[in-house]
Every structure is written in C-alpha cells, then in structure tokens.
Amino acid sequence: MIDLRPDVASKIILRPYVTEKTFDSIERDNMLCFLVSDKANKNAIKHAIHTLYAVNALSVKTARTIQGKKAYVRLVPEDSASDLASKLGVL
C-alpha cells in the first residue's frame, strides 16, 4: 500500500459522514462513509484512508449526492470500523 503525504490525503478525505443508515453499517458491514473530494478516485481514497487512519480498505464504493461525493469504505476484517469510528468521535 502506497502512503500519500498527510496533507494530500486530508484533501481527499474531507470528513466522516454519519446518518442512521451509515451508523448501522459500521457494526453490520464493517463499513464507514466519508465525504471526499469530487476529483478523488477509488484508489486514491483507499490510499488516503490508509495514510490518515492506519487501516486497510477492502473495497471502496462511491456515489455523488446532494451533499457531495461520498465514499463507502469497507475495512478488512482485521481492522474494526467501530474502533475507527470511536477514534473519529462518531460513536
């Protein structure tokens, strides 16, 4: 996994996005949702998550919404989405 510079990674990952639906997916699917830069691709998002939070992403799905571009990041089983959510202050 290639590490990005933290300043570049923080421009890709803007902030966590939490709703009731995304809150349920933390426990059920080991998945977190982030608002990301409109120009970010899935590979860049995966590397930025690794750089900023020291966890590995299993998959990344993106969607463009009214709120902006969202990235749904499923973590590998060894990394816990609920632990990361606690560190980020969303739980």
Please determine, for residue 3, whether its predicted confidence score (pLDDT) is greater than 70. no
Q: How many domains does the chain have?
A: 1
Q: What is the pLDDT of residues 58-84, one digit of tens each?
A: 999 999 999 999 999 999 999 999 999
The whole domain housing 45 covers 6-76
Does residue 47 form part of some domain? yes
CATH at 57: 3.30.70.330
CA 65/CA 79 separation, integer angstroms? 27
Q: What is the pLDDT of residues 33-64, one digit of tens each?
A: 999 999 999 999 999 999 999 999 999 999 99
Does residue 89 form part of some domain? no
pTM of the model: 0.92
